[in-house]
Amino acid sequence: MIEFHNVHKTYRVAGKDIPALHSTSLRVESGQVFGLIGHSGAGKSTLLRLINRLETPSGGQIIVDNEDVTAMDANGLRRFRQQVGMIFQHFNLLASKTVADNVAMPLTLAGELSRSEIDQRVAELLARVGLSDHAKKYPAQLSGGQKQRVGIARALATKPKVLLCDEATSALDPQTTASVLQLLAEINRELKLTIVLITHEMDVIRRVCDEVAVMDAGVIVEQGPVSQVFLHPTHPTTKRFVQEDEQIDESEQRDVFAHVPGRIVRLTFQGEATYAPLLGTIARETGVDYSILAGRIDRIKDTPYGQLTLAITGGDMEAAFARFTAADVHMEVLR
């Protein structure tokens, strides 16, 4: 479990104090995949680096598994960092070392295992990330996705309890991103590892996270379970991220709405309701007509959801609305 109590961070640049993170309190449960989303400069990178004290907080307290990170001395901090894995946007692998030596590095630095124990552990880790055949290669000979897999294997070497991901997929193409995210989800499930990741893509949050915090100008502006925040965003920053993910252009949408008659509603289905033939049934029984203006059927982590924007005309509209609500479909009347 990771807890932030009134943690804040201010940088001093050229004699001026620049706040990077305003007083923040936060709680990440063990075994959770916790996402932090924000634009660059929103403070998410600072927040992530405070967890393993790559950044020193200006004030407040950070507790990880009942240990006060803020109070640790240099030795304590080194031992603590061995329990926290970290992966990076640009992988940060050592170009001078082979894949196997990169993965072995946290173990050789810790100096607790013998050479043969390290070799065995490295072989296990490379098998887990699917790179057993590449052990003797140098990072420059690998693709971006393979490099990040080496990064993940390296981060897991010391069997950490927490994995920090710093924009881990931002330098990868969509397909590679999907496979790396799948690997992270797998690790989270099988090793019961707590993962904190930062990203600027809502898609990453939607695919792997359980809980999300949205950051803007050094403040967490919205936080909650991903399905809640993603499907019903309240803060303008969150709305913008969701729209980016769904590729909605607001002015275009307004034009479309202006051209259609009747009421406009947005229906959100979750879980089993996503696949039920609700729309047809209700339309038939209440005599309403509908046209679909926008829609998306997808998954939030493992839960299917659907979100449809409909223009509804004729029939018994009120009855139809009541039926939707009764069927556990979230309904928003847009016009």
- Residue with token string 């290669």: 137
Q: How far is the CB of 78 from another protein (least distance, A)?
A: 4
The arrangement of strands across the sheet holding 289-300 comes to 289-300, 303-313, 263-270, 330-333
Q: How far is the CB of 204 from another protein (least distance, A)?
A: 20
CB closer to another protein, 108 vs 120: 108
Q: How far is the CB of 44 from another protein (least distance, A)?
A: 16
Please report, as a single letter, which amino acid is at residue 175.
Q
Q: How far is the CB of 217 from another protein (least distance, A)?
A: 24
Phi then psi dihedrals of residue 205, to 5 deg:
-60, -50
Q: 259, 258, 278: which is closest to 268 by C-alpha?
A: 278
Q: How far is the CB of 41 from another protein (least distance, A)?
A: 18
Q: How far is the CB of 112 from another protein (least distance, A)?
A: 11
Q: How far is the CB of 19 from another protein (least distance, A)?
A: 20
CB closer to another protein, 128 vs 154: 154
Phi then psi dihedrals of residue 154, to 5 deg:
-65, -45
Q: 311, 234, 296, 206: which is closest to 265 by C-alpha?
A: 311
Rounded Cα distance, 315 and 268, in Å: 22
CB closer to another protein, 86 vs 282: 86
Q: How far is the CB of 65 from another protein (least distance, A)?
A: 16
- What is the binding site for another protein (CB under 8 A)? 52, 54, 74, 77-82, 84, 86, 88, 90, 92-97, 105-106, 108-110, 138-140, 154, 158, 164
Q: How far is the CB of 3 from another protein (least distance, A)?
A: 20
CB closer to another protein, 105 vs 319: 105
CA angle 75, 109, 54 (to 5 degrees): 55
CB closer to another protein, 76 vs 280: 76
CB closer to another protein, 93 vs 312: 93
Question: What are the distances in angstroms from CA 201 to CA 196, 209, 246, 247?
Answer: 15, 12, 11, 12
CB closer to another protein, 110 vs 273: 110
CB closer to another protein, 22 vs 53: 53
Rounded Cα distance, 299 and 208, in Å: 10
CB closer to another protein, 96 vs 247: 96
